[in-house]
Each structure stands twice: as structure tokens, then as C-alpha cells.
């Protein structure tokens, strides 16, 4: 019986570890970023976000987050909001994306994003799947993954990980590097 319990514990541990392990993005630097258009919110107001139109202005930091108003996602939004002037100075647009409905994101865009950047809704997870940002344990939700997309429409940088602060630091460094390589 002890052996059986040990085996069950091992299987349970392995299953839990896999469910919480970070995935690996299928999109890599140099890959073409999938085109999409969807409803977004900025400062509590809705608009249509089109990645192609936004890339004409400069690089885009597209960060996927699991769920608005959760602890990690709120911390990440606050950090991106604080760093927004630096992203703007580097010529980049920051956009968060999740499966949350647009009404939730209207509120999140003001409270958590502090009216500094847009968040966009992907309730059917089409864009989440296109960017291979699907959460392993919850297929309709996004995992925490960030892409820096160059003005040429190609992925310039990818970061996956559970630490929301690293997403801000690493994408800002990538945007600055992208700007300095011109």
C-alpha cells in the first residue's frame, strides 16, 4: 500500500508540475506576427484595435494575461502603466490582451492600466491561439506571455514566465534594443 501511495503522489506531483510549467511559444523571433482586429478599451472607452494599423506607427508590445483583476495581472498592468512613458519614448505601443469580455476590460483599462495603455478582448481565444499563448490548464485563457513585434510585422522578442514584472523589464529592454538597431 505504501508503494501505491508513493506512486499516486508522484503522479499527482508530476501532473501538477506540468499544469503549472511554462509553455514554449511557437512564435519565435523572425516569425510573422498573426494579423488580427478586435474590440479594445482605453481609459474606459471602447474602440477597434487592428494590429496592422498599429504597427504602421511603430513596434507593438503585445502582452497576454490570464484574467483581469487577479493579483498578478493587476500588478503587471500597474507596472506597464508606470513604464508607459518609457515605451512611448522608445516609439512603442503597449497592448494587453485576455479572454475577458470588453465590459470587464473597460473597467480594467482605467483601474489597473491607469488610462495609460489599451487592453483588448479575445473572448473566443482566437488571437490567443494564433499567438500560441493558450494557458495549459485553461485552454480558453491566455498564459502570461509577451511579444515585441517590430514595425515590419515580425516577432522581435518573446518572453514567457509567471513573474509579471519581468515582462515589463524585458520587453522594454527589447524595444530599446530594437530602436538602437536602426
Give the residue numbers marked as catalytic.
73
DSSP element (H, E) containing 169: helix 164-180
Residues 6+ positions from 117 with CB-CB distance below 8 Å? 42, 80, 81, 84, 87, 93, 94, 95, 96
CA 163 to mean position of chain CA atoms = 12
Cell of 157: 522578442
Amino acid at each position: 500500500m505504501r508503494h501505491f501511495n508513493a506512486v499516486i503522489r508522484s503522479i499527482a506531483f508530476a501532473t501538477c508540475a506540468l499544469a503549472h510549467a511554462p509553455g514554449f511559444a511557437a512564435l519565435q523571433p523572425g516569425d510573422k506576427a498573426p494579423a488580427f482586429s478586435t474590440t479594445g478599451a482605453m481609459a474606459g472607452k471602447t474602440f477597434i484595435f487592428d494590429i496592422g494599423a498599429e504597427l504602421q506607427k511603430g513596434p507593438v508590445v503585445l502582452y497576454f494575461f490570464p484574467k483581469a483583476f487577479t493579483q498578478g495581472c493587476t500588478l503587471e498592468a500597474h507596472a506597464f502603466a508606470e513604464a508607459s512613458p518609457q515605451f512611448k519614448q522608445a516609439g512603442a505601443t503597449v497592448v494587453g490582451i485576455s479572454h475577458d469580455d470588453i465590459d470587464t476590460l473597460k473597467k480594467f483599462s482605467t483601474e489597473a492600466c491607469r488610462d495609460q495603455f489599451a487592453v483588448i478582448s479575445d473572448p473566443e481565444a482566437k488571437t490567443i491561439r494564433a499567438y500560441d499563448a493558450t494557458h495549459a490548464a485553461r485552454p480558453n485563457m491566455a498564459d502570461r506571455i509577451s511579444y515585441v513585434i517590430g514595425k515590419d510585422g515580425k516577432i522581435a522578442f518573446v518572453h514567457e514566465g509567471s513573474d509579471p514584472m519581468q515582462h515589463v523589464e524585458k520587453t522594454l529592454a527589447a524595444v530599446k534594443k530594437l530602436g538602437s538597431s536602426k
